Amino acid sequence: MAIQNLKILGIDTSCDDTCIALLEIKNSKLEILSNIVSSQVKLHAKYGGVYPSLAIREHKKNLPLVFKKVLQQTQNKPFDLIGVTVGPGLEPCLWQGINFAKDLAKKFKKPLISVNHIEAHILANFIDRGLTSISFPAICLVVSGGHTGLILMNEIGKYQLIGETRDDAAGECFDKVARILGLDYPGGPAIAAKAIQIEGSRTPIILPRPMINQRNYDFSFSGLKTAVLYKVKGRKVNIPEVCREIQQAIIDVLIKKTIKAAKDYRVKSIILGGGVVANIELRKQIKEKIKKDFQLYIPDSKFCTDNGVMIAITAYFHRAKKTKEIKADANLKI
């Protein structure tokens, strides 16, 4: 049941982005009053991935600055509760957001809500839809830098993890392959930018689609990374062609596994979430492949990557679970 008027502060420091947003829910309609993301991508680029001690330092510095910007944008509008990511993620980074949220809760005398980062990626689909219901049951594909998994969702708050990666997540594979090819971090956007340079042509480079035909719903992308390494080692290759094939290999596996799960579990909907879902080709191809067999829900690209709005809306759905005891859980499951 929707509340007449509620303002929720959402905080996320699960990895290298410092995110704070203020979301207002009024008469079942959503309004984003402020959504600030302070990215650390440029700082971590030279390492080819997130450097934890640097990320912690930046979160400490950025949290009060980002919060100040949120207050400025909203003319110091009061908020009713605080949602904060408690996991999964990098534990030292998670603690920065948690401790900051605890201090705010104490200062402003507001309740706290623990938020699961993976669930928040799923519920990001409500940001543009308002509180309009999604058709359940649904299969959720969550694909981010550190997570790739398939989740059976019977309703909000009721999930069953049916498949996950056995080694590298898709986002990690993109990052590692980009490093092999001498491309920028993060790898996903860098590889996508190269791949589009040969749009319409056919690549002679063939890479494996790990586990694509296995009957389970698990993923494995470490072998794809290794295959790329051997394919380019000591050879002169067409980088855009390699990038196109890497991207397509990952997309093929993600889509086939997702559709298989959706058919096997006879669901009504397919829901996507996570940073990799911002990939234009993935979005385009899954729309084409599922046709009218299922309802498809994909967040706006700006809400696929980490943000405070998805934390706030998740806190809204769990607003009855107010707590004072919040701690980080780097390996938190949905």
In whole angstroms, give the CA distance from residue 113 to residue 61: 23
332 domain-assigned:
no
83 domain-assigned:
yes
Claim to verify: residue 294 and residue 223 sit in the same structural domain: yes
Claim to verify: residue 291 and residue 146 sit in the same structural domain: yes
Claim to verify: residue 118 and residue 210 sit in the same structural domain: no
151 domain-assigned:
yes
Claim to verify: residue 87 and residue 196 sit in the same structural domain: no
Claim to verify: residue 124 and residue 13 sit in the same structural domain: yes
CB contact set of 302 (below 8 Å; sequence gap of 6+): none
Please report how many Cα atoms fall inside a 13 Å half-sphere around the Cα of residue 248, on the Cβ side: 18
198 domain-assigned:
yes
Claim to verify: residue 47 and residue 144 sit in the same structural domain: no
In contact, 192 and 279? CB cutoff 8 Å: yes
Domain that holds residue 179: 138-298
Claim to verify: residue 154 and residue 266 sit in the same structural domain: yes
Claim to verify: residue 155 and residue 276 sit in the same structural domain: yes
pTM: 0.95
Claim to verify: residue 281 and residue 313 sit in the same structural domain: no
Claim to verify: residue 119 and residue 207 sit in the same structural domain: no
Claim to verify: residue 177 and residue 96 sit in the same structural domain: no
Claim to verify: residue 148 and residue 213 sit in the same structural domain: yes
330 domain-assigned:
no
User: 245: domain CATH number?
Assistant: 3.30.420.40
In whole angstroms, give the CA distance from residue 311 to residue 156: 14
In whole angstroms, give the CA distance from residue 204 to residue 215: 28
Domain count, the chain: 2
**Tens digit of pLDDT at every position of the chain (334 positions):** 455 689 999 999 999 999 999 999 998 889 999 999 998 878 777 777 787 888 899 999 999 999 999 999 999 989 999 999 999 999 999 999 999 999 999 999 999 999 999 999 999 999 988 887 899 999 999 998 889 999 999 999 999 999 999 999 999 999 999 999 999 999 999 999 999 987 665 657 899 999 999 999 999 999 999 999 999 888 888 999 999 999 999 999 999 999 999 999 999 999 999 999 999 999 999 999 998 899 999 999 999 999 999 999 999 999 999 887 899 999 999 9
325 domain-assigned:
no
